Amino acid sequence: MSLLPPEDEGDGIEVAWEDQQRINAFSKFNTRLVDIQDQLKAKMEEKEYYDDLQMELELADDADPVLYKLGEAFFSLSLPAAKKQLRKDTKRYDSEIAGLRVKADECETGMKELKVQLYAKFGKQINLETGPEI
């Protein structure tokens, strides 16, 4: 992230308190967004494991018990019980991911609005781009 204090440019446009607040808000959204994206990435990864597991369980033999990891220990579950537990876990992840997405969207809309306002005032003297999309 690069927020140049506009003064660095020499013949700066005066930064009023409202502008400073906008810059702050933008910076806040930006850090928050990065944080959320990290969390989202981790959750998606976990979710993928569960999806793989789902496929495996579809193919599994009915008679064999499944060793299902809950917390730090593995529990020997019957196939239906394991599927049920899996459904519960998947659902939890789905709702967590959805929640994070909503928060990320909030940040993005907020940033978009601020960008318009800040670019309108400072033009090229301010850089609000994060660079390549994460």
- Residues in contact with another protein by the rule CB under 8 A: 3, 5, 7-8, 15-17, 20, 23-24, 27-28, 31-32, 35, 65, 67, 70-78, 80-81, 83-85, 87-89, 91
Rg (the chain; Cα; Å): 23
Q: Of the two residues 8 and 129, which places its CB atom closer to another protein in the complex? A: 8
Q: Of the two residues 77 and 113, which places its CB atom closer to another protein in the complex? A: 77
Q: Of the two residues 35 and 113, which places its CB atom closer to another protein in the complex? A: 35
The number of angstroms, rounded, from the C-alpha of 39 to the middle of its chain's C-alpha atoms is 5
CB atoms within 10 A of CB 26: 21
Instruction: Please state the closest distance from residue 21 (CB atom) to another protein, in A.
Output: 9
Report CA dihedral (85, 91, 92, 97) to the nearest 10 degrees.
Answer: 150
Q: For tokens 């806040």, what's the residue?
A: 28
Q: For tokens 């994070």, what's the residue?
A: 100
Q: Of the two residues 69 and 132, which places its CB atom closer to another protein in the complex? A: 69
What are 68's strand-pairing partners? 75
Instruction: Please state the closest distance from residue 120 (CB atom) to another protein, in A.
Output: 20
